Every structure is written in structure tokens, then in C-alpha cells.
Amino acid sequence: MASSPITMMKMKLNNCSPPSTAAAAQFLPLLGPHQIRFRSFLAPHHNPSFPRTIITRPTFSSSSIITAAMASEASVKVIDGKKVAKDVRDEINAEITRMKDSIGVVPGLAVILVGDRKDSATYVRNKKKACEAAGIKSYEVCLPENSTEEEVLKYISDFNDDPMVHGILVQLPLPSHMDEEKILHAVCIEKDVDGFHPLNIGQLAMRGREPLFVPCTPKGCIELLHRYNVEIKGKKAVVIGRSNIVGMPAALLLQREDATVSIVHSRTRNPEEITRQADIIIAAVGKPNMVRGSWIKPGAVIIDVGINPVEDATSPRGYRLVGDVCYEEAIKVASAITPVPGGVGPMTIAMLLSNTLLSAKRINNFK
């Protein structure tokens, strides 16, 4: 009897066992692209120990990858998202103190949570803690699952008009009976710190235009590359995933940085071959360990956005978290990589705080 796709995924992906290209491709989901070039107020951190040049090779055989692995595993750079996020939060806190002392304004972030999803409640709780630590005033609205669209829209309208609130975030996903697009569109674009308003995304996609805000997770990915002095201009970049939240904006951001960008998605033929050409890989597909060592060009830089629970009988929780990239294989080939957890995750909330501060400064014309 043939195994189900879920059973096959557990066998082939949970433990980084090497699947064929065809097997990996069948798990490739509908992905997303989004990225743009941005300049935040945060100064880049210069790390002289990080290589500025990325190794390139015209073609790669299995033996060449193995040889590169032996030479590079010991020197692979782990991109520490926790440390960078802390640096960002410290800079934000200093800037908030300066603004409060100068004009008496404290940035405010309002979060609307509908329903009782545990993961969403955890995200909201973490955002509240991060706001308090950075000196941002947090406003929280928790509504029951059966709330109406009108109730949610009323809170959004109130926050739109509240001068103490500089950023509004509607926690996704919303209950199925609500029109997500309608609700997100109701957020005032000047307070759309999530960066999902269609006008923000449209500005992001257009040359010569600047969005008011960049979506937080893609912005965090680019910030990590900047802080580790990874050269983007002129490099080949592959974004695996084309979601509106990460993949699509990430691709747009890389284009703004003058990278040559390809997007790998569920209908892409030969995803392994395309990915292996990349100097920079951003994986945001939501499939555990899908990107194998054989997909990676020696010396490539990898930003792994995925955070996937997989069964692990040795863990007290019964599971462990892994990324979209098989970390054990990737560190033998890549020059730098983000770990999971501890890579992109902490940066998402840090960039939300950054966008909230940016909004408060813009609204109050504070330089």
C-alpha cells in the first residue's frame, strides 16, 4: 500500500534523510514573494570577521559539494538573530528615550486579537513584552471567536483616530467568517506597521517609490544580511516561497538591493537546480528540511524563515523545531546560515518595533 504524503514527509524530512529532487518537489507548497530595498534608521553593524565575497562555482557535482563541505563546515558563520534583534531593540530604546525627552512622545502599538488560538495568543504576548522592554506603549484588544466584523472594524477605526497609537496590528489568521482583506484595508496606511496594506506593497514593488512600511519578517531578513556585511548587489538570490507575508516582499526587497532574483514555488520545475545557482537563499516555504545540502551552492548565504515542529521522542515536548533548510547538511556547504530557532524569528518582532518607532517619528515630524 502506498504511503501517504504526510507519512513520506515524516520519513524523509524530519531527520534530514536525503530525498530525491522529485520527492522534495512534491512537497513544495504555494509559496510567496515579497521584498524591497529599504534604509532603516538603524546603523549597520560591521563585522570584519564575516567574508565580504561569496564563493562562486560554475557547475557542481556531488563530489565537489562533499569536498567543499569538508573545507567549509568548520568556518561556516552562524547568523545570530537573537543578538542582532537585541542590538536593534537597544537602538530603538535609545531613540525612544531621545524622542520622549525632546518632544514628550512615546510610540504606541495597538494589537487586535480575535479568537483563542494558542499560537496567536503567544505571538501577541511576546509582542507586548517586547514593546514594554523597548519603551513602546502597548494597547491590546482581545475579542472572542464569534465577534463580528463590525466590532473589529470599530476598534480599528478608534485606533486610527487615536493620536497615542502610532501602529496597528491585526493578528492573523482571523476567524473564517471574517473578510481578512476588508479588515486589513481598514487600517490607516500611516499606521500599517505590518506593511500589508496594498498601497504599501504596491509602493514596495515600484521603482523610485518608497513604502511607508516594509513587512516585518522580510525586513528582518535583509537587516540580518546588512548586519553581517553580506554583499547583495549583483548577486544571484533565490526566494523559496511566494506568500504575501514573506516570499513576495522578500523578493521585492532583494530586487531593491540590486540582486538578480528568482522565485521557486509549487509549480517550479527543477527547483533544486535553480536554487543551487544562488549566492543568497531565503527559504520561506513551511516544509521541514526541504532544502537539502545538494540544493546549495558552496559558499552561499542562507536565511531560513521556516519554523516547523517535527516529532522527536527524545524531546520533553515530544517535538523539536526545524527550518525549511536541512541545517546539518547546509552547514557543510554554506558560508553563513541562520539557525532555527534563534535566527529570523527574533528579528520579526524587532522590525515591528522599528516600524512603530518610524511611524511615531513620521507622524510627529521628529528627526
Question: 286-332, pLDDT tens digit by residue?
Answer: 999 999 999 999 999 999 999 999 999 999 999 999 999 999 999 99
304 is catalytic: no
Pair 153, 186: CB distance under 8 Å: yes
Pair 195, 211: CB distance under 8 Å: yes
- Options 12, 127, 236, 287, the catalytic residue: 127
Q: Is the pLDDT of residue 348 over 60?
A: yes
pLDDT of residue 17: 58
Question: 238-248, pLDDT tens digit by residue?
Answer: 999 999 999 99
Cα–Cα distance measured from residue 16 to residue 10, given in angstroms and rounded to the nearest whole number: 10
- Options 35, 171, 203, 255, the catalytic residue: 171
pTM value > 0.85: no
Cα–Cα distance measured from residue 274 to residue 268, given in angstroms and rounded to the nearest whole number: 9
Give the number of other CB atoms < 10 A from CB of residue 248: 25
* N- to C-terminal Cα separation, the chain: 66
- Options 194, 279, 304, 324, the catalytic residue: 194
Q: Average pLDDT, stretch 177-182?
A: 95
In Å, how far are 8, 126, 220, 312, 315 from 318, measured between CA atoms?
19, 23, 30, 5, 5
127 is catalytic: yes
Pair 327, 291: CB distance under 8 Å: no
Question: 183-235, pLDDT tens digit by residue?
Answer: 999 999 999 999 999 999 999 999 999 999 999 999 999 999 999 999 999 99
pLDDT of residue 121: 87
171 is catalytic: yes
Pair 103, 365: CB distance under 8 Å: no
Location of C-alpha cell 485606533: 159
